[in-house]
Amino acid sequence: MSLWDRLLRRTTRDGSSSVAKNRLQVVLVHDRINLPPERLRELKEELLAVIARYVAVDHDSVAITVEQPDRSSSRLIAEIPFGKGKSLLLDTSLKDDSYTEDDDLRPEADRPADDGTRPPAASADAAQADGPAADTPPPDSGATAADA
């Protein structure tokens, strides 16, 4: 072994201690909020289902996590991007309510791009979610967020 190998050896630890640390960190997140992993998974699913009743959700980019900056404060962080579902794009309220000059052109320009980038899986999910969402037009902020 060269001098450099010996000096640089073990700059990263890959023994079982890092496994122990990771497992502990996960298990303690659940212990501290008194919510076992399986229940947290159910919570996420239910939360998502409720939101999807109102708006199209980009299911592939959803991130719901428990954040624990220190041992006495835990919080649920949900990042739920709106999906770019068909009903959103066809929704006339989108055009009506966002009215800078450029906006007359923007939805036109966005449409093909949206359809192109939307993954098939998300499209299926969005279609499902569109049913109820169509009854209640999505709020403007929703449309903006979807574009953002």
Write down the least CB distance from residue 43 to other proteins, Å: 21
Q: Which is nearer to other proteins, 51 or 66 (CB)?
A: 66
- Amino acid residing at 136: T
In the list 1, 2, 13, 50, the residue contacting other proteins (rule: CB under 8 A) is 13
Write down the least CB distance from residue 72 to other proteins, Å: 7
Per DSSP, 102 falls in state G
Write down the least CB distance from residue 26 to other proteins, Å: 11
- State yes or no: residue 28 binds other proteins (CB under 8 A): yes
146 sits in which H/E element? helix 140-147
Q: Whose structure tokens read 């649920």?
A: 76
Q: Which is nearer to other proteins, 20 or 49 (CB)?
A: 20
Token reading at 124: 């299926």
Write down the least CB distance from residue 31 to other proteins, Å: 6
- Report the 10 Å Cβ neighbour count for 89: 16
Token reading at 107: 């939805």
**60 Cβ contact partners less than 8 Å away, ≥ 6 residues apart:** 119, 121, 122
Q: Which residues bind other proteins (CB under 8 A)?
A: 3, 6-8, 10-11, 13-18, 20-21, 23-25, 27-28, 31-32, 70-72
